[in-house]
Amino acid sequence: RLRAETARDLGFEPMPDPSRSVAGAHALLATEDEAEATALSGILAQDGIVVTRASDVNIAWDRLLHEEFDIAVLSLWLDDGEGLRLASRMRAQSATREVPVLLVADTDQRNQVLRGFDLGANDHVLRPVDANELRARARNQIRRKRYQERLRADLQRSLEMAVTDSLTGLRNRRYVTRHLEGLLRAGGATLLLIDVDRFKSVNDTYGHAIGDTVLREVAERLRLHLRAVDVVARFGGEEFVVAMAPQPADDAGLVAERLRLAVCERPVQVGDKSLDISISIGVAVARPDCTVDELAATADIALYRAKALGRNRVEI
């Protein structure tokens, strides 16, 4: 488990921030009663909430679909009880699913309010509406919704980081291993194992930072010369892999040859330095029931042969 400090360093908030202003939040206010609409708008405006009014269910739904809201304040009795149906419709549609619903109800509508919770409403206020209560409940829902959005964005970012190699921006070893497992389960895979030639001497001659720049440039050339369906990853160190659908060895050899040329055809420019870089590639086509490790081992044998035969070449 992440320590709290680590989580904070990574930008995760432990909970919604109760001191955070809701000014600028956008509310949909749907009530059939003009006077109530004016009164509730005025109350919400005290927190800087921008209110869009809707006097019936159709107008409300249209607004919800076409504008971004942080909260929907719905009169339960809207169009003779359609308020609840609107709440449940909001939950059924992805565009409105995350918008909190605050019901405005009469004291004798408690049962409908309870049903409303089952349909996805988040909170309620009873008439006569107490200004401070409405404000507090609205703020609470808006903050919760914004927090949820942040968590979702953080999760997305974390997932992205978990599958990305930070030096090159390519997929990482973990990802490509899973991807290969999937390809093998689905019937087969082709693997290119790529190793930069005499890379140690790049580091020794020019330093590690320039070595890193070369790795980024090699990664970019590989990426540019592959189809979007082929997964290219940094496997570790100065090794890369390409995972492709099963195909005849000769076809895979042509792809590998294209990549080899893309790397060696023109020097890598780093500042005023011009470096001749090349790669060797081992190609492996999966046999039935082969595992990722077996596929990688086969490609490794081919790669070793490419190195032994002089480097800057493809072996199958």
The answer to whether residue 199 forms part of the interface with Mg ion (CB under 5 A) is: yes
Instruction: Tell me: does residue 187 bind ligand GH3 (CB under 6 A).
Output: no
- Of 208, 266, 273, 287, the one binding ligand GH3 (CB under 6 A) is 208
What minimum distance in Å lies between the beta carbon of 311 and Mg ion?
A: 9
The answer to whether residue 97 forms part of the interface with ligand GH3 (CB under 6 A) is no
Structure tokens at 133: 């209560």
Task: For residue 91, give both structure tokens.
Answer: 């939950």
**The binder of ligand GH3 chosen from 47, 165, 195, 315 (CB under 6 A):** 195
> Between the CA of residue 127 and those of 17, 99, 275, 299, what are the distances in Å?
29, 22, 77, 73
CA–CA gap between residue 270 and residue 258 (Å, rounded):
23
Contact status: 307 vs ligand GH3 (CB under 6 A): yes
Q: Which does 173 bind (CB under 5 to 8 A by kind): ligand GH3, Mg ion, none?
A: none
146, with CB counted inside 10 A (0-12, 13-18, 19+), is middle
Cα 210 to the center of its chain, rounded Å = 31
CA angle, 30 then 33 then 36, to 5°:
85
Report the residue number, 48 or 237, with the smaller CB distance to ligand GH3: 237
Nearest residue by C-beta to ligand GH3? 211
- How far is residue 95's CA from residue 92's CA, in Å, rounded to a whole number? 9
Q: Which two tokens stand for residue 285?
A: 């086509």
Work out which of 138, 196, 218, 242 binds ligand GH3, going by CB under 6 A: 196
- Residue 72 · residue 27 · CB < 8 Å: yes
**Which residue in the list 67, 149, 238, 265 is annotated as catalytic?**
238
Q: Which is nearer to Mg ion, 97 or 200 (CB)?
A: 200
> Which of 189, 277 has the CB closer to Mg ion?
277
Pick the stretch among 171-179, 197-205, 271-279, 282-290 that binds Mg ion (CB under 5 A).
Answer: 197-205
Between CA 124 and CA 120 the distance in angstroms is: 12
Q: Convert 21-36 to b/e letters by CB count within 10 Å (16 or more is b).
A: ebeebebbbbbbeeeb
Binding mask 138-177 for Mg ion (x = CB under 5 A): ----------------------------------------
Binding mask 143-182 for ligand GH3 (x = CB under 6 A): ------------------------x---------------
The residue assigned the tokens 């090349």 is 278
- From 238, 240, 241, 242, residue interacting with ligand GH3 (rule: CB under 6 A): 238
**Has 181 been annotated as catalytic?**
no
Tally Cβ neighbours within 10 Å of residue 222: 24
Q: Which listed residue (41, 195, 299, 315) binds Mg ion by CB under 5 A?
A: 195
Q: CA–CA distance from 69 to each of 21, 52, 96, 290 (Å)? A: 16, 9, 8, 52
Which CB atom, from 139 or from 221, has the smaller least distance to ligand GH3? 221
Which of Mg ion, ligand GH3, none has residue 212 at its interface (CB below 5 to 8 Å by kind)?
Answer: ligand GH3
Query: Of 34, 80, 25, 36, which Cα lies nearest the Cα of 57?
Result: 80
Which residues participate in catalysis according to the annotation? 238
Q: Which residues bind ligand GH3 (CB under 6 A)?
A: 167, 195-200, 203, 208, 211-212, 215, 237-238, 307, 311
Which residues are at the interface with Mg ion (CB under 5 A)? 195-196, 199
